[in-house]
Amino acid sequence: MLGKFKNLSNREKAGLVLATICLFLVAVNYGVVNPLMAYLKEIKEQIKNEKRKIEISNSVIAQESAVDSKFVEAQSKILRVSSYDEATDEMKGHIDDIARRTGLIINAMDHKPAVEKEGIGVCMVEVSQFESDIKGLLQFLHEIRVAEGLLNVEKLIFSVDKEKSTLKGSILISRIVLKESASSSVEQSER
């Protein structure tokens, strides 16, 4: 083989060397450069994704103080009680006061047992019979909505008495409360 290479003219030798170099460059391109470029493209994509995640994280961090203040505000609205019966009795009195102010006549009111999950309780009071005009009912519902202590109308059923121009029906009202343990009430008194 080396003998045949010696018999070639200089021009043929140069062409053979040039073809070998081209073949080597093509092999390097497919074997080294293309995988390296694909790896660099993947790295650039990961950098872009990480920058996007950092931007999102920075926006979340920027909102942290606002969220903290909203949390403290929401936490201050939740009533803390030593017993659910006490909370229910206070709630019934509060509903009765709102009804008197708005002209809603309560004929029957009862409470349901509080539902508790992980120290958070939901007290329920059912006004099973009421009478009112539309203006009084709307005012009552508004007062319940804006009342302190997170009162919420769960269910409202009414019918219209056309002879008297009044509404008759029932309302189920709930309130979220936190039951204080003995240790948390001691902490509150120390503050």
Q: What is the pLDDT of residue 186?
A: 40
pLDDT band at 170 (very low <50, low <70, confident <90, very high): very high
Summarize the confidence of residues 67-86 as an average pLDDT.
Answer: 80
Average pLDDT of span 27-49: 90
User: Is 50 exceeded by the pLDDT of residue 59?
Assistant: yes
Q: Would you state the pLDDT for residue 189?
A: 44
Q: What is the mean pLDDT of residues 112-120?
A: 81
Tokens of 177: 């409360």
What angle, 0 to 180 degrees and rounded to 10, lies between the N-to-C axes of helices 84-102 and 134-146? 140
Long-range contacts of 152-160 (CB under 8 A, 24+ apart): 152/176, 154/124
